[in-house]
Amino acid sequence: MEETHHWRNIVVLWLVASLIMTPIVIFVIGPGLPPGNGSVEASGQVTDNTVLLATATPVALAVLVYIAYACWAFRERTPEVVLDGPAIRGNSSVQFWWLIVTTTLVLFLAGYGTVRLLADGSGGGQGPNPIAVPSAPNGGKPLVVQVVAQQWQFNYRFPGYGGFETNQIELPENTLVQFNVTSLDVIHSFWAYELGVKADANPGVNNVAYVTTKGPLLFHVRCAELCGVWHGYMFDQGRVVPKAQFAAWIVQQKTKFAPATKTLPPYSKTYFPQPLRRGG
Amino acid sequence: MSAIAMSVPAGRRTGWRKLIGFNMLTGIVLGIGGWYLGHFIGDHLSGAGLAYYSAEAGENDIAIFLGYLLGVVGFLVGLGFANYPIRRLLGHPPALAEHESEAEGLFRYFTLNTDHKVVAKQYMVGIGLFFFVAGLNAMLIRTELLQPNVHVFGANQYLTLVGLHGAMMMGTMTSGILGPFAQWAVPLMIGSRRMAFPRIESFTFWLLMAGEVILLTTIFFGGFQTGWTGYQPLGAQGTAGYDAYIGFFALVGLSMCLFGFNLIATITVMRGRGMTWSRLPIFVWAAYATAWLMLLAAPMLIAALLMGASDRTLQTAFYIPGQGGSAYLFQNLFWVFGHPEVYILALPGMGIVLELMVVFARKPLWGYRLAVAGMLGISFLSWFVWQHHLFVSGINADLRPFYMLSTELISLPTGFIFLCAMGTLWRGRIRFTVPMLFCLGWMFNFLWGGISGVFVSDVPSDVTTHGSFFVMAHFHYTIMGGLIFAFFAAIYYWVPKMYGYNLNERLGKIHFWTLFIFFNSTFAPLFALGFMGMPRRVVTYNAAWQGLNDWVSISAYCIGLSMLVFLFNVVWSLAIKREPAPINPWNSKSIEWTLPTPVPVHDFDKLPVFDADPYPYGVEPVPAGAPAYAPAGGTA
């Protein structure tokens, strides 16, 4: 009798807590989850984070409600006398259903994550031969931007515009962008936070990530892999701008860097990394 | 067997003459001598004219590595580790014990000692020391992060602190629970008088200490800039401080590997009569599951590091892409070790929590077989998840769905552990003693560690969280909130038996509540900072995040104060007040509490015979010859 009583209390408390918290998570916390709606991929990650958090909420609440209830209901009421609890050594049906429920949840999350990942690559680095390529908003080919990381800055090359290199980045709106990320020395990681893009920059490797931009946006680029002394200072900002403004910017940049472009090695997916020298 | 304990050599030295002989002092002297000898040889092997002499730094890696090597050899020889093999080679009969006599007093702790209880205490003090050093580094890191643009340390110093904190915590706390508590409790729990290989037991401890000292020498060589992961080719670029990182982690790896091997051998062959596999206390199972990981994962690390050392000295190019090497190779090898490593940290904590919950809920362990399956399952699955550390690195991108699945699958056996802990609480008679509070704290913290783990295991979500403070908060919830809380639970639980004095309960409760509150107040905001885009290991950050960072830093200082309460408690209770502990203060039914306090050198006057399961709560007195288990599913 007593245990039915406890079970009922726990289930009721859990249901109430979950019914309150899950909608709060989905409708209040969810839209504020990172990385925001700066790009199609970033919005996808927000959805993904919301699904994960909404799934985790009832699970976490089940454990918390149970522990809190157990600590209250099963506390020793006569501490001066040492008494044992009942010798319960398990319960096959509880164990069975726990296994079923947790397995279902895990398979759901793994399946959901896989579907989301394979749909558009989710802005993550996919190595030299990407399999999850999102389709461009207006058809056509993606805008290729090469991110060349080195200690301690990012440079950007635009192979579609003569392969010039600049230390600034602007992207046109509503465009599929293909980042070819590589490094000249050690491992860095190109993290364009608001765009939902993160791809490690490995020396001698071309790591491809896709992003579909939305409207105008200021985004932050930070290095997300420890790359030496000035790792903390390896950041810059970029902008997503209207297409006409981008066209003007790129012509201006191309002209500005034309003398330097002549001395650059020709555009390539990877570059022969610099010889290593000891530094502080 | 009990005769072993009495094999005290006649005519032992007394007074200062004790210091002459094989002990820590001799070890230090020979170690320093070995360092200079190695450095001398190294300098002559490779002069300044050779390419691998780093002219900018004025350092020679070969000399440094040889110095470390001969220094460690000298230290171990000075402690007496060469004596036994040499004696045997010269045809002397085997000696079974070294320095075990209680008559040697405190001196025992500074020698090669084969008493598992002495080694456990050596581990406890040694690990405690470096745990506090590494914790102090964390305080310094947080001091630097108080301000984005005003710097207390230089960028290089800051990264060295980050690396020292990470590497020292990882290397030290790998043996954090097993070192003191498995060495002490496992032989007692399985009814053995010693570990299977007592000299190796001592060896693993002194090797770890040598490693820690080597890591600290990095300060003299310019530090290292790579963090505890030591990624290449950044490591190949580093100053000689990186040699200290390699030396440290290689020694820790060797120590771990031998420790795991010793534990497996002990649990397999040293179990007493009647101690079947299905009667092993759950903590022994946790030690066993962990031991396999230690044995098999550590060689990966050692191999990865030796290749790095070879790049730095012998001019190979395993990790140097410009010369045909691969930066992925190190990442891959490191995480093949690194992911089992995090379960080496987590599993013993799970064992402690289940073992102690039984005592303080006063019920048998709920779902014993499920708990064992959970531990072995975690141990097994942890070999198949390592590339989740490399989701955005571009390595094997097509395999990411597999690693996402395997990583999420590991939450199933982890869920078993939670279910067993929760089931053990069910209708128990819960006593909120200090160890029990730490166990409940473990459940709370590890829950958030697990929930945040779902985000980092999911590739789309990991694109944001990878390399950010979110990941940092996640693993601090599992390691500090998990391992460290279980570590303190074990200390409060076993110290009265190990040292013979009670720890003050009021101070213990203050320690728990302050640690619990400030732990959460330190690390929960880090999830938010990571979500906002703050990368790990940065010396500066967006000024908008200063408020949260200051909150975190102040909370971290409060964790430091909480640790001081603990230190004060230890000194007060064990050195000043010295209130003798009763034989069995917790009314535990575990076998070690039936022994006198302190436990005699030979442990058992008569070796125990086991005829029932280890948790006879609620069924006393246990009738002789009763079945070990009541049928599952009978009640509740």
Q: Please indicate whether, in this complex, the C-beta atoms of A89 and B365 are within 8 angstroms of each other.
A: yes
**What pLDDT, on the 0 to 100 scale, is given for residue B265?**
97
pLDDT of B210 strictly over 80: yes
Calculate how close chain A gets to B357, using CA atoms only, in Å.
12
Chain B contact set for A181 (CB, 8 A): 394
Q: Please indicate whether, in this complex, the C-beta atoms of B432 and A75 are within 8 angstroms of each other.
A: yes
Chain B contact set for A193 (CB, 8 A): 464, 533
Q: B490-524 pLDDT, tens per residue?
A: 999 999 999 999 999 999 999 999 999 999 999 99
pLDDT of B53 strictly over 50: no
B458 touches chain A (CB under 8 A): yes
pLDDT of B630 strictly over 80: no
**What pLDDT, on the 0 to 100 scale, is given for residue B453?**
94
Q: Please indicate whether, in this complex, the C-beta atoms of A204 and B326 are within 8 angstroms of each other.
A: yes
3-state secondary structure of B611: coil
Closest chain B residue to the Cα of A221, Cα to Cα: B533
**What pLDDT, on the 0 to 100 scale, is given for residue B422?**
96
Q: B152-181 pLDDT, tens per residue?
A: 999 999 999 999 999 999 999 999 999 999
How many whole angstroms separate alpha carbon B390 and alpha carbon B399?
11
Lowest mean pLDDT among A217-226, B103-112, B340-349: B103-112
**What pLDDT, on the 0 to 100 scale, is given for residue B356?**
96
A263 touches chain B (CB under 8 A): no
The C-alpha angle with vertex B9 and arms to B6 and B13, in degrees rounded to 5, equals 125
Who among A63, A124, A222 is closest to B535 (CB)?
A222
Q: Please indicate whether, in this complex, the C-beta atoms of A52 and B458 are within 8 angstroms of each other.
A: yes
A149 touches chain B (CB under 8 A): no
pLDDT of B624 strictly over 70: no
Which A residues 210-229 touch B at CB under 8 Å? 220, 222-229
Task: Please check whether residues B88 and B145 belong to one and the same domain.
Answer: no
Complex ipTM? 0.95
**What pLDDT, on the 0 to 100 scale, is given for residue A280?**
36
Task: Please check whether residues B27 and B55 belong to one and the same domain.
Answer: yes
In a domain, residue B5? The reply is: no
> pLDDT grade, residue A273 (50/70/90)?
low
Lowest mean pLDDT among A213-227, B269-283, B322-336, B619-633: B619-633
The residue among A218, A214, A220 whose CA lies nearest residue A198 is: A220
**Tell me, what CATH number does B408's domain have?**
1.20.210.10
Chain A contact set for B461 (CB, 8 A): 45, 48-49, 52, 113
**What pLDDT, on the 0 to 100 scale, is given for residue B623?**
41
What mean pLDDT is reported for chain A? 92
**What pLDDT, on the 0 to 100 scale, is given for residue B133?**
95
Which B residues 35-64 touch A at CB under 8 Å? 54, 56-57
Average pLDDT for residues B85-101, to the nearest whole number?
A: 87
Q: B596-617 pLDDT, tens per residue?
A: 988 999 999 999 999 888 999 9
> pLDDT grade, residue B12 (50/70/90)?
low
What mean pLDDT is reported for chain B? 90
Q: Quick check: pTM over 0.95?
A: no
Chain A contact set for B617 (CB, 8 A): 84-85, 87
Query: Is the omega angle on the peptide bond into residue B598 within 30 degrees of 0, that is, cis?
Result: yes
The answer to whether the beta carbons of residues B522 and B556 sit under 8 Å apart is: yes
**What pLDDT, on the 0 to 100 scale, is given for residue B2?**
41
Q: Please indicate whether, in this complex, the C-beta atoms of B451 and A60 are within 8 angstroms of each other.
A: yes
Closest chain B residue to the Cα of A113, Cα to Cα: B458
Chain A interface, best mutation among B64, B392, B465, by max A CB count within 10 A: B392
Residue with tokens 């963090």: B227
How many whole angstroms separate alpha carbon B604 and alpha carbon B607?
6
In a domain, residue B375? The reply is: yes
Q: List, as one string, the DSSP characters of B345-369.
A: HHHHHHHHHHHHHHHHHTSPPTTHH
> pLDDT grade, residue B3 (50/70/90)?
very low
Task: Please check whether residues B60 and B119 belong to one and the same domain.
Answer: no
Instruction: Give the torsion through C-alpha atoms of A94, A99, A104, A106, to 10 deg.
Output: 130
Task: Please check whether residues B87 and B141 belong to one and the same domain.
Answer: no
Which B residues 321-360 touch A at CB under 8 Å? 321-322, 326-328, 331
pLDDT of B125 strictly over 80: yes
Who among A98, A205, A231 is closest to B538 (CB)?
A231
Question: Hey, which CATH number is domain A143-263, 3.40.50.10470, 1.10.1060.10, 2.60.40.420, 3.40.50.300?
Answer: 2.60.40.420
Most confident of B103-117, B225-239, B463-477: B463-477
Closest chain A residue to the Cα of B445, Cα to Cα: A64
The percent of residues in chain B predicted with pLDDT above 90, rounded, is 81
Q: Please indicate whether, in this complex, the C-beta atoms of A113 and B404 are within 8 angstroms of each other.
A: yes
Chain B interface, best mutation among A1, A49, A55, A84, by max B CB count within 10 A: A84
The answer to whether the beta carbons of residues A258 and B37 sit under 8 Å apart is: no
Pairing label, strands A197-201, A188-192: antiparallel
Task: Please check whether residues B385 and B529 belong to one and the same domain.
Answer: yes
> pLDDT grade, residue A276 (50/70/90)?
low
Q: B350-363 pLDDT, tens per residue?
A: 999 999 999 999 99
pLDDT of B268 strictly over 90: yes
B628 touches chain A (CB under 8 A): no
**What pLDDT, on the 0 to 100 scale, is given for residue B263?**
97
3-state secondary structure of B396: coil
Q: Please indicate whether, in this complex, the C-beta atoms of B428 and A85 are within 8 angstroms of each other.
A: yes
A5 touches chain B (CB under 8 A): no
The answer to whether the beta carbons of residues B348 and B178 sit under 8 Å apart is: yes
The answer to whether the beta carbons of residues B477 and A137 sit under 8 Å apart is: no
Task: Please check whether residues B273 and B160 belong to one and the same domain.
Answer: yes
pLDDT of B267 strictly over 70: yes
pLDDT of B20 strictly over 50: yes
Q: Is B276 left (phi over 0), alpha (psi -120 to 50) or beta?
A: beta
In a domain, residue B372? The reply is: yes
**What pLDDT, on the 0 to 100 scale, is given for residue B633?**
39
Provide the residue ranges of all domains of chain A, joining segments of one domain with +.
Answer: 2-75+99-123, 143-263
Average pLDDT for residues B86-91, to the nearest whole number?
A: 94
**What pLDDT, on the 0 to 100 scale, is given for residue B7?**
45
Count of residues in chain B: 636
The answer to whether the beta carbons of residues A34 and A115 sit under 8 Å apart is: no
In a domain, residue B165? The reply is: yes
Task: Please check whether residues B313 and B179 belong to one and the same domain.
Answer: yes
Alpha carbon B113 to chain centroid distance? 20
Task: Please check whether residues B72 and B124 belong to one and the same domain.
Answer: no
- Angle of the B241-269 helix axis to the B61-79 helix axis, nearest 10: 40
Neighbours of B136 (CB within 10 A): 15
How many whole angstroms separate alpha carbon B421 and alpha carbon B360?
12
Q: A165-196 pLDDT, tens per residue?
A: 999 999 999 999 999 999 999 999 999 999 99
How many whole angstroms separate alpha carbon A190 and alpha carbon A205?
14
Q: Please indicate whether, in this complex, the C-beta atoms of A204 and B427 are within 8 angstroms of each other.
A: no
Task: Please check whether residues B121 and B87 belong to one and the same domain.
Answer: no
**What pLDDT, on the 0 to 100 scale, is given for residue B313?**
86
Please give the structure tokens belonging to residue A182: 């590589």
Task: Please check whether residues B434 and B579 belong to one and the same domain.
Answer: yes
The answer to whether the beta carbons of residues B318 and B312 sit under 8 Å apart is: no
How many whole angstroms separate alpha carbon B345 and alpha carbon B396?
27
**Per-residue b/e over B452-480, b at no fewer than 16 CB within 10 Å?**
bbbbbbbbbbbbbbbbbbbbbbbbbbbbb
3-state secondary structure of B335: helix
A193 touches chain B (CB under 8 A): yes
Choice between A199 and B4, residue whose per-residue pLDDT is larger: A199
Q: What is the DSSP letter of B504?
A: P
Residue with tokens 């420790």: B259
**What pLDDT, on the 0 to 100 scale, is given for residue B619?**
80
Task: Please check whether residues B401 and B511 belong to one and the same domain.
Answer: yes
Cα→Cα distances A49→A102, A134, A253, Å? 19, 20, 38
**What pLDDT, on the 0 to 100 scale, is given for residue A139?**
81
Q: For residue B587, give the amino acid letter.
A: N
Q: What's chain A look like in SS3?
A: CHHHHHHHHHHHHHHHHHHHHHHHHHHHHHHHCCCCCCEHHHHHHHHHHHHHHHHHHHHHHHHHHHHHHHHHHCECCCCCCCCCCCCCCCCHHHHHHHHHHHHHHHHHHHHHHHHHHHHHHHHECCCCCCCCCCCCECECCCEEEEEEEECCEEEEEEHHHCCEEECCEEEECCCEEEEEEEECCCCEEEEEHHHCEEEEECECCCEEEEEEECCCEEEEEEECCCCCCCHHHCEEEEEEECHHHHHHHHHHHHHHCHHHHHHCCCCCCCCCCCCCCCCC
Average pLDDT for residues B364-383, to the nearest whole number?
A: 96
Q: How many helices (H) and strands (E) does chain B have?
A: 20, 2
Residue with tokens 């120590």: B255
What backbone phi and psi angles, to 5 degrees, belong to B275? -85, 80
Chain A interface, best mutation among B395, B398, B418, B429, by max A CB count within 10 A: B429
**What pLDDT, on the 0 to 100 scale, is given for residue B384?**
95
Residue with tokens 């958030």: B448
**What pLDDT, on the 0 to 100 scale, is given for residue B200?**
95
Q: Please indicate whether, in this complex, the C-beta atoms of A186 and B532 are within 8 angstroms of each other.
A: no
How many whole angstroms separate alpha carbon B509 and alpha carbon B489?
11
pLDDT of B546 strictly over 50: yes
Give residues with Cβ within 8 angstroms of A20, minimum separation 6. Answer: none
A85 touches chain B (CB under 8 A): yes
Closest chain A residue to the Cα of B589, Cα to Cα: A84
Pairing label, strands A176-183, A143-150: parallel
Q: Please indicate whether, in this complex, the C-beta atoms of B423 and A94 are within 8 angstroms of each other.
A: yes
B605 touches chain A (CB under 8 A): no
Who among A2, A87, A129 is closest to B617 (CB)?
A87
How many whole angstroms separate alpha carbon B391 and alpha carbon B141?
27
**What pLDDT, on the 0 to 100 scale, is given for residue B420?**
97
Closest chain A residue to the Cα of B61, Cα to Cα: A278
**What pLDDT, on the 0 to 100 scale, is given for residue B620?**
57
Average pLDDT for residues B113-119, to the nearest whole number?
A: 94
Task: Please check whether residues B153 and B26 belong to one and the same domain.
Answer: no
- Domain membership of residue B114 as a residue range: 96-100+108-594
pLDDT of A40 strictly over 90: yes
Count of residues in chain A: 280
pLDDT of B46 strictly over 80: no
Total domains in the fold of chain B: 2
Who among A117, A202, A222 is closest to B459 (CB)?
A117
Who among B394, B405, B532 is closest to A125 (CB)?
B394
B464 touches chain A (CB under 8 A): yes
Query: Is the omega angle on the peptide bond into residue B545 within 30 degrees of 0, that is, cis?
Result: no
Q: Please indicate whether, in this complex, the C-beta atoms of B617 and A88 are within 8 angstroms of each other.
A: no
